[in-house]
Structure 1
Amino acid sequence: MASDAQAPHGDDARQRRALGDFLRAHRERLTPAAAGLPPLGRRRTPGLRREEVAQLCGLSATWYTWIEQARDVSISAGALVAVAGALRLSRAERAYLFDLAGKRDPERGAVPLPHHASAQVQAAVAAVAAPAYALDRCWDVLAWNAAAADIFHGWLDAPGAKNLLRYIFLDAGAPTLIQDWERRARRVVAEFRAECSAYLDDTPVRALTDELQRDSRRFASLWSQQDVVEREGGRRGFHHPVRGDIDFAQVTFRLSGHDDVKLVMLLP
C-alpha cells in the first residue's frame, strides 16, 4: 500500500477514476442484507458504506476510500479478489474490475474446463456450412461439424478425445495433411502461449504442456523459445488424401457467454 496519495493525472488518472466509479456504483447498489450484514438503523442510502466494504474485505477503510476517490495507491490482486467477493460481483463484473485495475486475476484459471460443448456451442458449430470446430482453453475440440471431419479425416472422425495440439505434434498424419507443417507448428505454439498466459498455473494447461514437452521433442523445442503471437486468420492449406490440395481462410470468434471457448471456421 502506498504511504501517500498523489493527485490524479493523465491516462492513469482516468483509469483510476473509472475504477473508483465502478466500485462506488456497485457498493451503493448492494444492500447490507445482500452482503450478509445485520441492519443498523436508518440509512440515507440503501447501499453499503465504504467502511462496511472495507470490513467485509478485511482491508483499511482509508485505503478503500482512496481507491474510490481515484487516489494513486497500490492495489494488489489479492485485495481485488477480496473486493470482488465483498461486492458480490458477477464473473463479467469481476473480469472488468481486474481490467480496470490492470491486474491479472489469480483465480481466473480456476474456472473448470467445460469438457462437453453446451447446446449453444453445438448449435453454433452445426449452423456453419463451412468446416468449423470449437476449442476450449486447452484447445480440446468440444464440437465440430461434418465438413471439419472431412478435412481432418482420420482425426475428427476417429473415436476418442480430440486436442488440436496433440494432433499437430503427436499424430503422424498431421505433417502430411497440414501444408507447411513446420511454419504452422511454430505459429500455433506461440499462439497457444499467448492465449494461455492467464492460465499458465492452471492444472489442465500445465498438464498438457508438460505432456507435450515430454512426448514431442519439436514441441519442447518450440515451447522453450518463449515466442508469443496473437491468434490471426489467414490462409490454411491442406493436402487432402481425396480432394488434393485445398485452401481456406481461417476465421476465429469468441462466443458470448463462453469466455474460454472459440469458434474456428475454415471459409472457402
Structure 2
Amino acid sequence: MIGPGSDSARRRALGEFLRSVRARVSPQAAGLPAGARRRTPGLRREEVAQLAGISVTWYTWIEQGRDVSVSAAVWSRLAGVLQMSRAERHYLFELAEATDPEHGRETLEQLPEGLQLCVDSITVPAYILDRSWNVLCRNSLMLELFSGWPDRDSQPNLLRFMFQDEAARALVEDWEARAQRVVAEFRAETASFAEEPEVSALIDSLLETSPVFAHWWTRQTVVEREGGSRAFIHPDKGRVSYRQMTFHLAIRPDCKLVMLLDEAD
C-alpha cells in the first residue's frame, strides 16, 4: 500500500495503472474505427483524451505521473472511456485521492446478492448503512432492539431516526451526548461529498427540523466513527448495553456493517 507522504509514488502508480488499462481497450470497443494495424494494442493517448474531453498534453502528464489537478468528473469520464470494472474504478479513485461521483447511486435492489442473508446469519443486532446512513438491510435482532424501526419507515435513515423520531430519545441512553457524537461522526464521514444532492438534502432537512442537529452541525466538530459502549432503554427488556463494531464492506466501499455485540460476552 502506498503510504502517506508518497505522493510521487502514488502518481506513478496511477499513471502505470492507466497505461495498463488503456492497452487492453480496443478502438472498436471504445466505438472508434479500427483503422490501420497498430504496433501496440489498445487505445492511443490522444484517443483517450478525445473521448474523455481533455487535452492530450494533460492526459499525457497524468500517465507520466506529473503533479496535475484533476477533477472527480474527469476521473469518472476516464473510468468510463477505459471501461473499468467496479474494482478498477474504486482503485482509480483511491489512487487519485478523489471521491467517485458514482458512489451512493446504488439502490437497495442493487446490493450484492446474498448480503441480506449474511446480515440475517449474524447472531447479534446488525445492519448495513450507506454513506448517507440509510439503512439498506438489517436482521431481526436489530429490528427487535429498535422496537420495529426501521420497518415502519419506508426509507429508514439512522440520522432521521435519531433527530426526527421521538422514539429515539426514549430508546438511546444519554441521548444528548450521543446526538452530539453522531453529528460529529457524520460531518467527518461526509466531508468530501456533503454537496451531493442526497446528502445535502438530508442535512438541510435535519437543519430545518432538529434544533439539536442544527446546534451541533454549526459547531463544526469532527470525530472519527469508533466503537464503544452503546446503551439502550428497551420498552420490554429495560436497559441493555452493547459494544459497537463497524466494518466497511469490500464489495461496497460506500457501505458499512454495524454490529452490536453483547457486552456480557
TM-score range, shorter chain: 0.7 to 0.9
Q: Percent of pairs identical after alignment?
A: 52
2:130 is aligned with 1:136? yes
What does residue 242 of structure 1 align with?
A: 236
SS for the counterpart of 2:254 is strand
Q: 2:104–2:254: 8 Å Cα contact kept in structure 1?
A: no
Structure 2 vs 1, CA of residues 232 and 34 (structure 1 numbering), >3 Å: closer, same or farther? same
Please report how far the alpha carbon of residue 176 of structure 1 lies from its aligned counterpart in structure 2 after TM superposition: 2.2
Take 2:64 and 2:197, find their aligned partners in 1: how far apart are those partners? 38
Take 1:118 and 1:91, find their aligned partners in 2: how far apart are those partners? 12
Tell me the TM-score normalized by structure 2: 0.86
SS for the counterpart of 1:263 is strand
The worse-fitting range, judged by mean Cα deviation, of 30-39 and 221-230 is 221-230
2:12 is aligned with 1:23? no
Residue of structure 1 aligned with 2:89, choices 70, 83, 94: 94
Q: Give the counterpart letter for 1:52 in structure 2.
A: E
Take 1:128 and 1:209, find their aligned partners in 2: how far apart are those partners? 31
Take 2:47 and 2:153, find their aligned partners in 1: how far apart are those partners? 55
Can you list the C-alpha shifts for 1:52-99, whole angstroms capped at 9, x where unaligned? 222222333233222222233343434323322221223332232232
The worse-fitting range, judged by mean Cα deviation, of 163-172 and 215-224 is 163-172
SS for the counterpart of 1:32 is coil
Q: 1:67–1:73: 8 Å Cα contact kept in structure 2?
A: yes
| RMSD over equivalenced CA pairs, Å | 2.4
What does residue 81 of structure 1 align with?
A: 76
The worse-fitting range, judged by mean Cα deviation, of 233-242 and 113-122 is 113-122
SS for the counterpart of 2:123 is coil
SS for the counterpart of 2:215 is helix
Gaps of 5+ in 1: 1-9
2:221 is aligned with 1:230? no
Q: Give the counterpart letter for 2:243 in structure 1.
A: A
SS for the counterpart of 1:173 is helix
What does residue 6 of structure 1 align with?
A: none
The worse-fitting range, judged by mean Cα deviation, of 167-176 and 185-194 is 167-176
Q: 1:116–1:142: 8 Å Cα contact kept in structure 2?
A: no
Take 1:19 and 1:108, find their aligned partners in 2: how far apart are those partners? 19
Residue of structure 1 aligned with 2:38, choices 43, 60, 68: 43
Residue of structure 2 aligned with 1:189, choices 160, 183, 187: 183
Structure 2 vs 1, CA of residues 136 and 101 (structure 1 numbering), >3 Å: closer, same or farther? closer
Residue of structure 2 aligned with 1:114, choices 98, 108, 112: 108
Gaps of 5+ in 2: none
What does residue 148 of structure 1 align with?
A: 142
Please report how far the alpha carbon of residue 24 of structure 1 lies from its aligned counterpart in structure 2 after TM superposition: 0.6
The correspondence of residues 156-235 of structure 1 with structure 2, limited to 5 A, is: 156=150, 158=152, 160-235=154-229
Residue of structure 1 aligned with 2:253, choices 232, 255, 259: 259
Q: Which has the larger radius of gyration?
A: 1
Take 1:60 and 1:161, find their aligned partners in 2: how far apart are those partners? 43
Q: 2:99–2:193: 8 Å Cα contact kept in structure 1?
A: no
